[in-house]
Amino acid sequence: MTRTTTLVAAGLAGLGLSIGGVPAGAQDFSGKTIELIVPAGAGGGLSRQAQRFSKTFSDHIPGKPTIKVRNIVGGGGQKGINFVFNRAKKDGTQMLWGPMNFPGLLFGLKGVKYVPAEFNAVGVIGVNFVTIARSDLAGGLKSREDIVKAKNFNVGARIPGGALGLFSRFSFDMLGIPYRFAIGYKNQPKLKAGLMQNEIQAISTGDIGYWVFYKNDLVKKGSAVDLFYHSSFPIGSDTPEDHGKSFGDVPNFVAFYKKAKGKAPSGPMFEAYKWFAAHQVWAMWMMLPPGTPDNVVAAMRKAYAANWADKRTVANFSKATKSAPFWLAGEKGGALLSGYTDIGAEAKAYLKTIIR
């Protein structure tokens, strides 16, 4: 197993789209303000996508309320999630927009104070992640596969168990590349600055961050290389789902591994990677707190589905990520929140070594 050093750098069945009859006028949010709580700093992909969704979401909520994005930063993202679960108003005016920390939940990490299945889930949007490295690594990356010659560089991330860090770590561990892991970058702008200043040499970002911060800047200029992207896996499959069409010739990690190593990935690390990708790619959950009345939950689920049927919403998201958005609801979404403990013993043991 690759040795690494850590541095500190700076009830869901009702989630379906077939909503039961809600009496006309049962909910009216006229004159109210709804807060979408984003558990990350402003300026990153989560906040940008929350802003995009809110532009048309209000049109589908009875009373067309004002919708504002509110950032609650702290605890590696857990402060905002904990707030919605434990303290948010139960009248539909405060909702979470953000990821679940499935590794933290799996291992009972300090600071995780919520139970996914007890949230009232409204829906979830998927996010592809991309791993990027400075092009001057290993004497210069003449091809993506040259990254396997690099060693002992710094990989930047927000927190130990977050998607940005783990997608990088899974990749470099499976490829057998030694690296150091640097945490504490509060958002993607900070990670980009670290990459530009050569403080760190590799990062992972969500698809929106890729287009906003890297593709048309560092990658286009040739100072960084987009190595591979990470998509979701159907449970039990070794083949990733093809959601990365917006990345052009950038391969998914499995295809990259096959080309670089001459064989398909396998073993506990790959099993852990598949488990993580199957759950954590679904990164933008809209959640109402436990105890929210059923009629409020139903109204928000109906509005959520209507917003995705709105051509303006789809066009807005597609413009940002260069591909159509993908999202889950119903039993598929519920399975992710209740089945995250299903992971093999060896894969779980490996995962435990890289999330702390």
What are the distances in angstroms from CA 32 to CA 9, 70, 123?
41, 15, 22
Pairing mode of beta strands 33-38, 94-98: parallel
CB atoms closer than 10 angstroms to residue 67 = 22
Q: Residue 27: phi, psi to the nearest 5?
A: -130, 135
Helix (H, G, I), strand (E, B) or coil at 146: helix
Express each pLDDT in 286-296 by its tens digit. Answer: 999 999 999 99
What is the token pair recorded at 46? 């989560």
Q: Residue 156: phi, psi to the nearest 5?
A: -95, 150
Express each pLDDT in 48-102 by its tens digit. Answer: 899 999 999 999 999 999 999 999 998 878 899 999 999 999 999 999 999 888 8
d(CA 230, CA 241): 9
Indicate if the pLDDT at residue 12 is higher than 60.
Answer: no
Q: Give the per-residue pLDDT at 330.
A: 61
Q: Give the per-residue pLDDT at 3.
A: 41
Q: Cβ(130)–Cβ(119) under 8 Å?
A: no
Q: Cβ(132)–Cβ(193) under 8 Å?
A: no
Indicate if the pLDDT at residue 146 is higher than 90.
Answer: yes
Q: Is 104 exposed, middle or buried (0-12, 13-18, 19+ CB in 10 A)?
A: buried
Pairing mode of beta strands 33-38, 66-71: parallel
Beta bridge partners of 206: 129
